[in-house]
């Protein structure tokens, strides 16, 4: 077939138009996920909890508020929340309030009104309140779901009955915290208690919770163990392991002794990429580099014992302090530590994100050139978006969400396109953030 000159021109125009349309369709913006932030409302005097939501733009990482949100969190002073992977339900842990109306709860002044409120995710990311559940202990403050989405675990600061501490943890233990475990109904999301099959109360009844050492700080699921970190600056920090059953959700004590960490200001314990990281903020210089905080990397051995990795503790950047969370990016090449800093009066002194390259052979960490990078004031949490392009922090002191782009070659965190320091306002101080890639 032969084309005339005019026909060839039309053909080239058509091809060009097709290419342009193809390119346009490749860069077309769409929502890659929903980002939810728990927090409180500045306009309320009762520390009433709210959940704010944003749509994440696939191309630029910009955030667009979800219509219909914020919504009430179901209680006062919401803290952490969990979203089942690929699931339809969010569970928010509302810590309640003490006599002064704050979540700073103690045995002498415990919080009242603490609960777990369930929400369903509807079209366009809108949330609808479902049911409310309660833990067995006093002052719940940490929550996570197992990787299968079958069980939820909550860490309570104080066990409801001190006699159970001796029965579960050994003679001489007169006070302890506890873990409350729940089975998740796969259809309704309803929670039912997992009863302790290992320990009974003094009256011979099965305990509806699992005792852990006193003064719990944080806990994490790693492989087949739930590790609870406890301690005080005077006694030092320890990690206590329970063996976890993925089929029943049951927790079993396999050793009554807690493992000392030889630190006294631990802030968090995080599982990532088959390793466990303990974040520590000693408040004084902890390394020859002048850093005042550090990351301790471990692998998990027999009976849940932590085994220190090659090179030992890794110093935080000397300009940062108070590390509160760690994220392993999706390719396993870099880890990022978010530092809350010593924030007052809406400043971001010593708060930011420190990035580290992971050695593929030794798994040692070395700080990325250009690190650290700024955040809003007082970041509470950090996460990677479902498309694995962006990192976000939700910030307490200035009531914002901030985002950065992950350079896929170097791990450097750049500003979101179109802004030197892109931040999105919240209605009040942030407490925690979660993300889902399910948008239908």
Q: Where are the domains of the chain?
A: 316-434
Secondary structure (3-state) at 21: helix
CA distances from 356 to 149, 311, 315, 327, 380 (A): 30, 14, 11, 11, 20
Q: Does residue 4 have a pLDDT over 70?
A: no
* 158 confidence band (pLDDT: 50, 70, 90): very high
Which tokens belong to 140? 């719940």
State the SS3 of 61-80: CCEEECCCCCEEEEEECEEE
pLDDT tens digits, residue range 189-246? 999 999 999 888 888 889 999 999 999 999 999 989 999 999 988 899 999 999 999 9
Q: Does residue 256 have a pLDDT over 80?
A: no
**What is the rounded average pLDDT of the residues 143-170?**
94
pLDDT tens digits, residue range 340-378? 997 555 555 688 999 999 999 999 999 999 999 999 999
pLDDT tens digits, residue range 61-90? 999 999 999 999 999 999 999 998 777 999
Q: Which helix (H) or strand (E) holds 11?
A: helix 5-26
Which of 200-204, 225-229, 265-269, 311-315 shows the lowest per-residue confidence on average (mean pLDDT)? 200-204
CATH code for residues 316-434: 2.130.10.10
pLDDT tens digits, residue range 93-148? 999 999 988 888 887 888 999 999 999 999 999 999 999 999 999 999 999 999 99
> What percent of the chain is predicted at pLDDT more than 70?
90
Do the Cβ atoms of 331 and 322 come closer than 8 Å? no
* 14 confidence band (pLDDT: 50, 70, 90): very low
Measured over the CA atoms of residue 137, residue 326, residue 48 and residue 189, the dihedral's sign is negative
Q: What is the pTM of this model?
A: 0.91
The whole-angstrom separation of Cα 249 and Cα 145 is: 11
* 440 confidence band (pLDDT: 50, 70, 90): low
CA distances from 381 to 4, 53, 118, 392 (A): 64, 15, 21, 8
Alpha carbon distance, N-terminus to C-terminus of the chain: 48
**Backbone φ, ψ for residue 23 (5° rounding):** -65, -45
Residue with tokens 């929502």: 31
């Amino acid at each position: 077939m032969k084309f005339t000159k005019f026909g060839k021109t039309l053909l080239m125009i058509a091809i060009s138009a097709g290419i342009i349309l193809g390119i346009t369709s490749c860069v077309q913006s769409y929502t890659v996920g929903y980002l939810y932030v728990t927090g409180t409302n500045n306009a309320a005097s009762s520390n009433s909890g709210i959940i704010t939501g944003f749509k994440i733009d696939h191309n630029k990482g910009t955030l667009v508020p979800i219509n219909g949100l914020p919504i009430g969190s179901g209680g006062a002073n919401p803290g952490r929340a969990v979203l089942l992977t690929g699931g339809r339900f969010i569970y928010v842990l509302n810590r309640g309030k003490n006599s002064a109306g704050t979540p700073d709860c103690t045995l002498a002044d415990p919080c009242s009104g603490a609960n777990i409120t369930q929400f369903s995710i509807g079209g366009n990311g809108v949330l609808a309140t479902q049911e409310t559940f309660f833990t067995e202990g006093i002052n719940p403050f940490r929550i996570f779901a197992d990787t299968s989405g079958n069980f939820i675990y909550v860490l309570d600061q104080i066990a409801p009955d001190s006699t159970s501490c001796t029965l579960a943890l050994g003679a001489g233990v007169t006070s302890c915290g506890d873990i409350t475990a729940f089975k998740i109904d796969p259809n309704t999301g309803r929670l039912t208690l997992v009863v302790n099959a290992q320990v009974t109360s003094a009256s011979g009844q099965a305990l509806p919770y699992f005792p852990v050492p006193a003064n719990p700080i944080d806990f994490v699921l790693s492989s087949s163990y739930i590790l609870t970190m406890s301690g005080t600056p005077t006694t030092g920090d320890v990690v206590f392991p329970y063996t976890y059953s993925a089929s029943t959700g049951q927790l079993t004590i396999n050793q009554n002794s807690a493992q000392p960490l030889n630190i006294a200001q631990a802030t968090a314990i995080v599982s990532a990429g088959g390793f466990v990281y303990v974040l520590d903020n000693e408040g004084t210089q902890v390394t020859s580099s002048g850093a005042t905080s550090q990351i301790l990397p471990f692998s998990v051995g027999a009976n849940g014992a932590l085994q220190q990795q090659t090179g030992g503790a890794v110093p935080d950047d000397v300009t940062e302090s108070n590390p509160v969370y760690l994220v392993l990016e999706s390719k396993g090449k870099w880890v990022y530590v978010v530092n809350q800093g010593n924030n007052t009066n809406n400043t971001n002194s010593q708060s930011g994100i420190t990035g580290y390259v992971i050695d593929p052979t030794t798994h040692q960490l070395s700080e990325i050139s250009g690190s650290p990078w700024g955040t809003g004031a007082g970041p509470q949490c950090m996460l990677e978006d479902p498309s694995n392009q962006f990192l976000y922090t939700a910030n307490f002191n200035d009531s914002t969400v901030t985002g950065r782009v992950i350079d896929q070659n170097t791990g450097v965190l750049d500003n979101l396109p179109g802004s030197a320091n892109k931040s999105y306002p919240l209605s009040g101080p942030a407490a925690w953030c979660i993300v889902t890639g399910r948008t239908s």
